[in-house]
Amino acid sequence: MTRVLVTGGSGRLGRSVVRVLAEAGHGVVSVDREALEGLPARQLQADLLAPGTASRLFREVRPEAVVHLAAIAVPFSAPEAETFITNTSLAYAVLEATLESGASSLLVASSPTVIGYNSPSGWSPAYLPLDERHPVAPWNAYALSKVAVEQLMAKAVRSDGHRARFGAFRPCYVISPEEWQGAPTQQGHTVLERLDDPSLSAVALFNYLDARDAGDFVRTWIENADRIPNGEVFFVGAPDSLVREPVGEALERLVPGVGGAGRHLAPDAAVFSSTHAEELLGWRARRTWRTELAATNTEASHG
């Protein structure tokens, strides 16, 4: 059993990460500004940006592994400067506290938005599917903050890689279990509405990820961090796209700049490749919109 500290454990992604880790037998401590009833973890309510708070809490908990999810999680949900300063300052405070506490590993959440799609100045992929080697081109403060966080992990490998293992993952558009059953997703639409109107998912290049699969990736990384290269970055997404029509045709029709770059993709292929995670960690998402909506419909018919 590993003692894991999760920042942002009460959030949409965090709650599933905490549950997966707890179900796997790890001891979990969640640090968030708000507590969540029923979360299977010791919960500490705190603002990690308050001076000295991160160091104090980490010294108290003495985690063996740290998962950093706390952030302003939605682009343009706060002023641009606030988003950048908050996200980078949180990551820096957590990194320093991780090292001070003697934790052996730190995994931070980045974002697929670092790639730069939907830039108002135009964007075209160098190739498809997108993988971790693709150039980044952030055009807003949120994406820029995530590039900075990834670079912070790279810096940590260079300066402290002899002391701990570091990594970053770019989880695709997270869908929580209740959202398969009709609850609104992060953008306010239901999953079925996103499928019925593909323009709603086109803005994210049809990427998505079940929150429980995200939790399973985090568990897998923690349990295998010492056997893979230090500082790796991973795309983490479902093995298909959140669209009913062939994804290449949908991209060409709805995403300016892509043109015919997606014509060679299989009809249900993912635009963001998680092959790196599969090859290094043996991780692959198990849930898709097809399996989860089918399960929801089956449950409803038996209700």
Nearest-angstrom CA–CA distance, 233 and 168 = 5
Question: What pLDDT is attached to residue 298?
Answer: 60
Contact between 66 and 104 (Cβ < 8 Å) = no
Question: What is the Cβ-side half-sphere exposure of residue 154, based on CA atoms within 13 angstroms?
Answer: 8
Query: How deeply is 236 buried, as exposed, middle or buried, from its count of CB atoms within 10 A (0-12, 13-18, 19+)?
Result: buried
**What architecture (CATH level 2) is domain 3-302?**
3-Layer(aba) Sandwich (3.40)
Q: From residue 57, give the alpha-carbon distance in Å to each of 30, 31, 44, 188, 222.
A: 11, 9, 9, 34, 20
Amino acid (1-letter code) at residue 151: Q
pLDDT of residue 296: 73
Going from the C-alpha of 187 to that of each of 12, 162, 203, 232, 255, the distances in angstroms are: 13, 41, 11, 29, 18
pLDDT at 82: 98
Residue 209 and residue 286: Cα distance in Å, rounded?
10
pLDDT for 301 equals 47
Tens of pLDDT, residue by residue, the chain (303 residues): 899 999 999 999 999 999 999 999 999 999 999 999 999 999 999 999 999 999 999 999 999 999 999 999 999 999 999 999 999 999 999 999 999 999 999 999 999 999 999 999 999 999 999 999 999 999 999 999 999 999 999 999 999 999 999 999 999 999 999 999 999 998 899 999 999 999 999 999 999 999 999 999 999 999 999 999 999 999 999 999 999 999 999 999 999 999 899 999 999 999 999 999 999 999 999 999 999 998 876 655 445
Cβ atoms 147, 138 nearer than 8 A = yes
Neighbours of 85 (CB within 10 A): 16
Under a CB-based contact definition with an 8 Å cutoff, are residues 251 and 203 in contact? no
In the chain, what are the domain boundaries?
3-302
Decide the pairing of beta strands 174-175 and 165-171. unpaired
pLDDT, residue 287, reads: 98
